[in-house]
Amino acid sequence: MTPTKAAKEIFPTSTFLSDLPANVLPQSLSSPSNSGPPRGRLVIIGDVHGMRKSLEALLDKVAFDRCKGDHLIFVGDLVNKGPDSPGVVDLAMKLGASAVRGNHEDAVLSAAVEMNSSGYNPPNSGDLSAGAALSESPQHDLPVNDVQDSQASEKSISATAEKSRRPSPATQITASALSPSHLEWLAALPFILRIKLSQKLISSLGDTLIVVHAGLVPGIPLEEQDPHAVLHTRSLVRTNGKDDVFTPMESSGDEGWVVEWDRWQDKLPSKTTVIFGHDAKRRIQIGRYSIGLDSACVYGHRLSALVISASEGKIAHEVIQVDCADVPVAPTVSVKEEAKPVLG
């Protein structure tokens, strides 16, 4: 489905909004008739950023088993920064995972096209599978208010999207390391993945789950969300003082966008929970109808999964984490240790 808005920097979109196919939705989450121990879970994983060893450790800890009906979903940013982006994509494809596009997938896809068209050769990356993480320029892929002055940090995502940025050397190296099949798989990922749960199951997650990389603007239909904002939003500001009209911001702001999302959901009869990543500074966020899973694994902290299961007519969910098992990237700005969850 084609969105009504398109930012200039976005890599061409093949699918903007997609529904999780019924044949991969675990039976326990689609039918209340399931009895006995939980069989078939959704395992939704936060930003991996090429940290394959950490991903394998997390899958081991949650006892992921595709043969028992488990289905794996990534919130985007599988690639870039970490030591083994090709290995992460290989594993995701092998396990039949679903995913949404993150800003790093978008950057890598754009870099691949630019490099192919210009014949540009990236800096020598060495052996990407040997555990060497890629250093990042402080001007790339970071919150606006961490790398620019306070005046620049007030610019909206729409204004930021108009600025053309050459891919960082790390992004170019990642693009050159991925195979054509990897790039095709990434290019086909939707921006928004919708998961409809059985209304006959008791659930604190509501009737619908939405997986996006960064954020959504309350009150705007999914089909009309700005694709650049879906990949980059961290906070919202009210537009011209209006209570229910918001401008998405790439900066962190005083509070995350999920605060307004939860307030909006409180007014609706049918609830939708959004599961997202992108906000490593805040780390795990648990709202009433929002769960943020970026726990800064790439910076040496933890990798997180939301595990959703159902039994005896009820849906349960829990966050499971592992410590980083890869060589981390040194952050170019501080990642707050005392990240406070967004509580309902």
Angstrom distance (rounded) from CA 268 to CA 270: 6
Rounded to the nearest 5 degrees, what angle is found at the Cα of 340, between the Cα atoms of 334 and 342? 130
Confidence of residue 122 (pLDDT cuts 50, 70, 90): low
Q: What is the DSSP string of 111-176?
A: HHHHHHHHTPPPPP---GGGT-PPP--TTSSS-HHHHS-HHHHTS-HHHHHTS--PPPHHHHHHHH
**The tokens of 265 are what?**
């959901």
Domains of the chain listed by start with CATH number: 17-323 (3.60.21.10)
Confidence of residue 342 (pLDDT cuts 50, 70, 90): very low
Residue 109 has pLDDT above 60, yes or no: yes
Residue 154 has pLDDT above 60, yes or no: no
Confidence of residue 298 (pLDDT cuts 50, 70, 90): very high
Q: Bridge partners of 304?
A: 321
Angstrom distance (rounded) from CA 196 to CA 230: 20
Angstrom distance (rounded) from CA 132 to CA 135: 9
Angstrom distance (rounded) from CA 240 to CA 206: 31
pLDDT of residue 132: 45
Angstrom distance (rounded) from CA 203 to CA 313: 9
Residue 315 has pLDDT above 70, yes or no: yes
In tens, the pLDDT along 210-249 reads 999 999 999 999 999 999 999 999 999 887 766 778 889 8
Q: How many CA atoms lie within 13 A of 305 on its CB side?
A: 26
Angstrom distance (rounded) from CA 155 to CA 250: 8
- Highest mean pLDDT pick, 127-136, 283-292, 307-316: 283-292
In 3D, which of 186, 34, 202 has the Cα closest to residue 99?
186
